[in-house]
Amino acid sequence: DIQMTQSPSFLSASVGDRVTINCKASQNINKYLNWYQQKLGEAPKRLIYNTNNLQTGIPSRFSGSGSGTDYTLTISSLQPEDFATYFCLQHNSFPTFGGGTKLELK
């Protein structure tokens, strides 16, 4: 199984900040990497698919990059509604998720 190591686990930031969240795979996942946002009591919402493709309806302040084993989600200017938990998902083989990043208001 491919292991996904996500960092940081917790992130404290302010409205307007630029933040980055990272996922590292235990082997090459060929850009088959999605990013999700999850708010309390809700299902995950897909933000980015296949590394850098923005899901329809998701604001352009969200972007993704990476290749090989290393991937990044960037939020260019945090908005109040962005404080949530974020997960990565690799689907190069049987799906596995990163451990999550809880983004909190500083």
Partner 1 sequence: QVQLKESGPGLVQPSQTLSLTCTVSGFSLTSNSVHWVRQPPGKGLEWVGAIWSGGSTDYNSALKSRLSISRDTSKSQVFLKMNSLQTEDTAIYFCTHYGGYSEGWFAYWGQGTLVTVSS
Indicate the residue among 33 and 78 with the shorter CB distance to partner 1: 33
Question: Does residue 69 bind partner 1 (CB under 8 A)?
Answer: no
User: By rule CB under 8 A, what string of x and - marks binding of each residue 27-66 to partner 1?
Assistant: -----x-x-x-----xxx-x--xx----x-----------
Q: Is 89 in the site for partner 1 (CB under 8 A)?
A: yes
The CA-atom distances, in angstroms, between 88 and each of 15, 16, 33, 106 are 23, 23, 7, 23
What sign does the dihedral 88-91-93-96 (CA atoms) show?
Answer: positive
- The terminus-to-terminus CA distance of the chain in angstroms comes to 36
Contact between 37 and 98 under an 8 Å Cβ cutoff? The reply is no
Considering the complex, state which of residue 16 and residue 41 has its C-beta at the smaller distance from partner 1: 41
User: Would you tell me which residues interact with partner 1 (CB under 8 A)?
Assistant: 1, 32, 34, 36, 42-44, 46, 49-50, 55, 87, 89, 91, 94-100
